[in-house]
Amino acid sequence: MQKLFSIILILSLHFGCMGQKVTFMDKMMSKKLIGEGKELFYAGSISEAMLTFRRAKLKNPLSGDACYQLCIAEFHLRSYYDAYNHAIAAERMITKKKDGEYYYYLGRIFQTLNKVDSAKIFYNLSREKLGPRISKDYELDILIDQCDFVKNEAEKGVKYLCKPFSRAVNSKYDEYGAVLIYNKKRLFFTARQPETTGSNINYDDQKFFEDIYRADWDEQLQDWKINIESMEEYNTEGFDALNFVSRNGKYGLLTINTSASIEKTTASSEIYEFEVDEEDSSWYMDPIKSESINTSYFEGAATISDTSFDEDETATQTMVFVSDRKSDKSLTDLYTVQRIDDKWGEAKALDSLNTLGRETTPFLTEDGKFLFFSSDALPGMGGYDVYYSEWLNDRWGAPINLGAAINTVHDDTHFQYFPEYNMGTISSVNDYDGYFSYDLFKIDLSNSNFPFLKK
């Protein structure tokens, strides 16, 4: 408990005494606004809820509850520094008995800013308040293990290898899924920017829909230059994400979901493939026609191996993708399916790798020997971490965390490995002038000793 008191003392030093006089009507209006904000928050309108909590705080700057509700909304909207400051204010102002959920959110906010020692203290307090059964629902044991993982990696002196792409492609909006071809001269990625096709906004997170972007390396500028027109023909008014492109740039896999747009050409999220026309370089795109792959559930984030041939000249490819078709038992899972002589087989869940949480953004090496993916329910540093598994003895081995050289306390997804360039790409939540969003990162693997580099 002495450590907790030290934290609270440090937190209190961030604030002087507030001399503003608050009337009875101000307090009543603030309480009313907090109630309205909670209704908006639980209805999924988090941005509106945040604005309502801010109004409540303006009415009564001494309201610890307004600060607490505001820090939760800001946390969910990735305004982590603001969430941290309001968490500090709430801790100073709220003098009544605090429940387990309160300490849980303080722990989440502190962990997100890599203050793992303080986060662990709050998680332990939350666990004491909530008890064993409810603590399991809040995954407090996992969160505490994540804090220990981060601390152990720091004690090892692991060097972080990821460096962000330039601001020619990264912005304050979300960019992810970097794919490099043509000797690193062309970059494809997916983004949720205001100029998205159709200008549609997703109700759940109040962000723009996805579009696919292409950028080419400009030798004169020594930087990337986005070619907007090149993708106009392929982006829909729905969600469009490019997941995989062959090394020669002639084949690719996409995720397309127009069910929430005017177009409604898909029933849900579906996997498409494209081939490049050799004469005019245009993409011929079609949904994969297999009821085992595209269902009425979410399917996407597909990756595929090169074609291999056996002694009978049978052509085989392996594809791995993500689906939520078992959402009654787990969240999103990895599935695998083979294409043999251009005929798709039956997709099967990768039960040896899947958890009750979320597995996403797989990447399969060309030879099909290594599978990379992200998960939020395996031992890691926080949020999604990147793991890899090796195909040995006709099965996938236990997933291995790539550690602090690749992963952070934030979400780390969309890892791809380019052995011909001795590098990888990844998408991570990054600080952009105090605003946290997904950015594209490149990873120099030339001096690394990961086992998959030696195969």
Per-residue confidence (pLDDT) for residue 107, from 0 to 100: 97
Nearest by Cα to 335 from 367, 293, 365, 306: 293
Residue 15 has pLDDT above 90, yes or no: no
Q: Per-residue pLDDT tens for 381-400?
A: 999 999 999 999 999 999 99
Whole-number Å distance between alpha carbons of 58 and 53: 9
* Residue 429: pLDDT over 60: yes
At 239-248, the pLDDT tens digits run: 999 999 999 9
pLDDT at position 316 over 70: yes
State the average pLDDT for the chain.
92
- Please check whether residue 226 is in contact with residue 169, taking contact to mean a CB–CB distance below 8 angstroms: yes
Q: pLDDT tens, 36-51?
A: 999 999 988 898 999 9
Per the CB < 8 A criterion, the answer to whether 53 and 73 are in contact is yes
**Does the pLDDT of residue 343 top 60, yes or no?**
yes
pLDDT at site 44: 86
pLDDT confidence tier of residue 4, bands split at 50, 70 and 90: low
The pLDDT value given to residue 9: 45
Contacts of the segment 228-237: beta carbons below 8 A, 24+ positions apart: 228/195, 232/197, 233/282, 233/283, 234/274, 234/283, 234/285, 235/196, 235/197, 235/211, 236/197, 236/198, 236/261, 236/263, 236/265, 237/197, 237/198, 237/200, 237/209, 237/261, 237/262, 237/263
The pLDDT assigned to 432 comes to: 82
* Confidence category of residue 297, pLDDT binned at 50, 70, 90: very high
- Distance CA(189)–CA(178), nearest Å, equals 5
121/14: higher pLDDT: 121
Strands (E), 1-160: none
The Cα–Cα gap between 103 and 119 comes to: 9
Cα–Cα distance measured from residue 130 to residue 109, given in angstroms and rounded to the nearest whole number = 18
Rounded distance, CA 241 to CA 301, Å? 8
pLDDT tier at 347 (50, 70, 90 boundaries)? very high
**Residue 424 predicted with pLDDT over 50:** yes
**Which residues are registered as beta bridge partners of 261?**
none
Cβ(240)–Cβ(254) under 8 Å? yes
247-283 pLDDT, tens per residue? 999 999 999 999 988 889 998 999 999 999 988 889 9
Predicted structure pTM score: 0.90
Query: Is the predicted pLDDT of residue 2 greater than 80, yes or no?
Result: no
Query: Would you say how long the chain is, in residues?
Result: 455
pLDDT at 203 over 80: no
Decide if pLDDT at 57 tops 70.
yes
Residue 11 has pLDDT above 70, yes or no: no
Q: What is the pLDDT, as a whole number, of residue 5?
A: 47
C-alpha distances in Å from residue 390, one per residue of 60, 364, 368: 57, 10, 9
Q: Find the mean pLDDT for residues 173-179.
A: 97
Please choose, from the candidates 356, 377, 330, 361, the residue with its C-alpha nearest in 3D space to the C-alpha of residue 428.
361
Number of neighbours of residue 265 by Cβ within 10 angstroms: 14
Please, what are the domains in the chain? 2-156 (1.25.40.10), 162-453 (2.120.10.30)
The backbone torsions φ and ψ at residue 111, rounded to the nearest 5 degrees and listed phi first, read -65, -40
- Return the percentage of the chain with pLDDT > 90, whole number: 83
The whole-number pLDDT of residue 193 equals 92
**18 — pLDDT class (breaks 50, 70, 90):** very low
Residue 443 zone, left/alpha/beta (φ > 0; ψ -120 to 50; rest) = beta
Answer whether residue 6 shows pLDDT above 70.
no
Mean pLDDT (whole number) for 103-121 = 96
Element (H, E) at 140: helix 140-156
Q: Which residues in 182-262 belong to E strands, given as ranges?
A: 186-192, 211-218, 223-226, 239-245, 251-257
Give me 212's structure tokens.
């696919």
Q: What are phi and psi of 34, to 5 degrees?
A: -60, -40
Alpha-carbon radius of gyration of the chain: 24
pLDDT band per the 50, 70, 90 thresholds, residue 200: confident
Give 208's DSSP letter.
B
pLDDT at position 13: 42
What is the per-residue pLDDT for 16? Answer: 43
For residue 380, pLDDT beyond 70: yes
Q: Tell me what pLDDT residue 386 has.
A: 98
Q: Closest Cα to residue 376, out of 348, 401, 404?
A: 401
- 427: nearest Cα among 369, 378, 372: 372
Tell me the average pLDDT across 363-376: 96
